[in-house]
């Protein structure tokens, strides 16, 4: 199933601080009575759970041009983190694409969003992402696994560079 390759240590943290292991949720879904293709879709959708974490690697980082949006939204710095990705030079700002190549790690910052749904709508605008025309957006919002300095793994929102966008490394 897509999205379950390295999830044994992945922990989902709810807005009220409760936690549940991703593996236990996958196990529960796997035991359900629905057809296997529906279970696979459900597992894929688990990555889209209402996480309130955001991973930033560019202009939204502390000390950079767009960080004031995170301050205004009341986002709380959690930790530095890393994602499996490659960075691209877009001129005035960077873009990143998920990578499966060993050693391709991108450092950034993890924030907890207050009122994540509302905050993501604001950040979608800031990042030029439109869910209605996602294929035409420069960035795509998705969830990804972030590794924290203490080894913990968290699911966080990230703005990936659209595969259709021209970019240089």
Residue 13 has pLDDT above 70, yes or no: no
Q: Which residue's structure tokens are 């989902």?
A: 12
145 Cβ partners below 8 Å, 6+ apart?
Answer: 6, 10, 83, 84, 153, 154, 155
CB 80 within 8 A of CB 86: no
CB 117 within 8 A of CB 15: no
Residue 40 has pLDDT above 60, yes or no: no
pTM of the predicted protein model: 0.71
What would the CATH number be for the domain defined by 53-161?
Answer: 3.10.490.10
Considering the chain, tell me which residue range(s) the CATH 3.10.490.10 domain(s) occupy. 53-161
Residue 21 has pLDDT above 80, yes or no: no
């Amino acid at each position: 199933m897509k999205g379950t390759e390295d999830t044994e240590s992945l922990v989902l943290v709810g807005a009220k601080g409760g936690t549940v292991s991703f593996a236990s949720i996958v196990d529960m879904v796997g035991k359900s009575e629905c057809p296997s293709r529906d279970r696979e879709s459900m597992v894929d959708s688990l990555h889209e759970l209402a996480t309130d974490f955001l991973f930033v690697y560019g202009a939204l980082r502390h000390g950079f041009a767009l960080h004031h949006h995170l301050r205004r939204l009341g986002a709380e710095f959690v930790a530095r983190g890393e994602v499996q990705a490659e960075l691209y030079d877009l001129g005035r700002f960077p873009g990143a694409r998920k990578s499966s190549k060993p050693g391709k790690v991108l450092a950034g910052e993890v924030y907890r969003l207050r009122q994540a749904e509302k905050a993501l709508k604001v950040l979608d605008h800031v990042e030029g992402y439109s869910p209605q025309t996602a294929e035409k957006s420069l960035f795509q919002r998705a969830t990804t696994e972030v590794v924290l300095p203490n080894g913990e793994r968290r699911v966080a929102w990230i703005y990936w560079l659209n595969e259709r966008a021209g970019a240089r490394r």
